[in-house]
Amino acid sequence: MRKTRKSRAARRNPFFSAGAFGAFVLGAIVLVTLLAPLIAPHDPLAQDLAHTNAAPGEHGYLLGTDQLGRDLLSRLLYGARTPLLVGVLAVLCGGLFGTALGLLAGFTRGWPDQVLSRLTDIQLALPSILLALLVLSFGGQSTAVLVLVIALTGWPAYFRLVRARVLALRTSEYVEASLTQGIPAWRVAVRDLLPGVRGLVAVTATLDLSRAVLMEAGLSYLGLGAQAPEADWGLMVSEGQGQLLSSWWIAVLPGLGLVFLVISANLLGDHLAHRREDHGGREAAAEPSLAAPTPARTP
């Protein structure tokens, strides 16, 4: 372990690290999205029907306009708002839910564990995009439902990791000590076990963010997420697809934004996972799959 750590550190480029790059790009996207009302040159919804499909630079539009004459640059600046908002909320909901239930199942074992484990088995047996389509088509389409659906398809990952970790931690002496002192079980769970899974949950959440963003984008592309006339990268790609023949930039540029967003979250997540592996010592070596969850994939 020590040897690999050394060689890994020696190979590390002092001027460039993929994790730092990911954090930087992610931070830049968040900052631009927050500052969009201040820096956008136009209203993202304002139509200029005299200048539709303008090429970049034409008529004073830096990146051109879309099929309704809306400024593409302004729409790009605003376009990460929904993916980020939905993504972060979904990760929070799914993460909290999954972690809480994982803690419960791992700590109590017994029937709650049985029931919840079977439930995750069933859910993981269903493709998440189909589950999302099912809920969105019959449960109505709104941002709240979108967040819930993405959280719903994300919680089993947290549940499984936290449960496995808690099962391992439960038998350690400090937990036994707390329990024999007569400290109520829920307090032991929160005070002694929760800190032990914090790092794991943080890594999972970073990678889950890219999954959530991808899912929001995919659903918006299909017309089930963000609704027109909203500026949303996934929706903008779908609207621009019909204009590819005359003005490719309308579809291609928003997609590029999505690619950067997802890559940066994946790079950061991978980096955090590897760092856990490097510094986690014994614990990570025993459960390599726990320390490095696979990155999110395109739905």
Partner 1 sequence: MLAFVLRRLGMTLVAVWGALSAVFLVLHTSGDPALMMAPVGADEEQIAALSHALGYDRPIAEQYVAFFGDVLRGDFPDSLTFQQSALHVVWERLPATLTLAATALALACLGAAAAGLWAGGAGGRGGARREWPMWLVFLAQSVPGFYIGVLLVWIFGVELRWLPTSGAAGPAALILPAVTLACGVTPPLARVFRNSLRGELARPYTRTGTALGMSRARVLRHAAHGSMLPVVTVLGLEAGALLGGTVIVESVFSWPGVGQLVITALQNEDYPLVLADLTFLITAFVLVNLIVDLLYGLLDPRVRHSSGRS
Sign of the alpha-carbon torsion through 43, 47, 50, 51: positive
- Structure-block tokens of residue 146: 């979108």
CA–CA separation, 20 and 35 (whole Å): 22
Residue selected from 134, 202, 285, 286 as contacting partner 1 according to rule CB under 8 A: 134
Residue selected from 27, 41, 60, 127 as contacting partner 1 according to rule CB under 8 A: 127
Would you say 93 or 207 has its CB closer to partner 1? 207
CB of 31 to partner 1, least distance (A): 21
Residue selected from 33, 82, 99, 128 as contacting partner 1 according to rule CB under 8 A: 128
- Structure-block tokens of residue 212: 């959530």
Tokens 């750590």 locate to 5
Q: Are 162 and 102 in contact (CB under 8 A)?
A: yes
Stretch binding partner 1 (CB under 8 A), from 70-78, 97-105, 155-163, 251-259: 251-259
Stretch binding partner 1 (CB under 8 A), from 62-70, 98-106, 182-190, 211-219: 211-219
Q: Per rule CB under 8 A, is residue 118 in the interface with partner 1?
A: yes
Amino acid at 140: G
CB of 237 to partner 1, least distance (A): 6
Q: Per rule CB under 8 A, is residue 210 in the interface with partner 1?
A: yes
Q: Per rule CB under 8 A, is residue 68 in the interface with partner 1?
A: no
Stretch binding partner 1 (CB under 8 A), from 48-56, 94-102, 178-186, 247-255: 247-255
Q: How far is residue 2 CA from its own chain's centroid? A: 32
Q: Per rule CB under 8 A, is residue 252 in the interface with partner 1?
A: yes
CB of 287 to partner 1, least distance (A): 13
Amino acid at 41: P
Tokens 């372990």 locate to 1
CB of 37 to partner 1, least distance (A): 26
Exposure pattern of 29-58 as b/e (b: 16+ CB <10 Å)?
Answer: beebbeebeeebebebeebeeeebbbeeee
CA–CA separation, 80 and 240 (whole Å): 16
Would you say 56 or 179 has its CB closer to partner 1? 56
Would you say 73 or 237 has its CB closer to partner 1? 237
Q: Per rule CB under 8 A, is residue 284 in the interface with partner 1?
A: no
CA–CA separation, 197 and 254 (whole Å): 36
Q: Are 293 and 207 in contact (CB under 8 A)?
A: yes
For the chain, what's the residue count? Answer: 299
CA–CA separation, 100 and 197 (whole Å): 11
- Structure-block tokens of residue 217: 């984008």
Q: Per rule CB under 8 A, is residue 140 in the interface with partner 1?
A: yes
Q: Per rule CB under 8 A, is residue 130 in the interface with partner 1?
A: yes
Q: Per rule CB under 8 A, is residue 229 in the interface with partner 1?
A: no
Exposure pattern of 230-269 as b/e (b: 16+ CB <10 Å)?
Answer: bbbbbbbbbbbeebeeebebbbebbbebbebbbbbbbbbb
Q: Mask 253-272, x = binds partner 1 (CB under 8 A)?
A: --x--xx--xx--x------
Q: Per rule CB under 8 A, is residue 114 in the interface with partner 1?
A: no
Would you say 194 or 229 has its CB closer to partner 1? 229
Judged by the rule CB under 8 A, the positions of this chain that interact with partner 1 are 118-119, 121-123, 125-131, 133-135, 137-140, 210, 214, 217-218, 221-224, 234, 237-238, 240-241, 244-245, 248, 251-252, 255, 258-259, 262-263, 266, 294-299
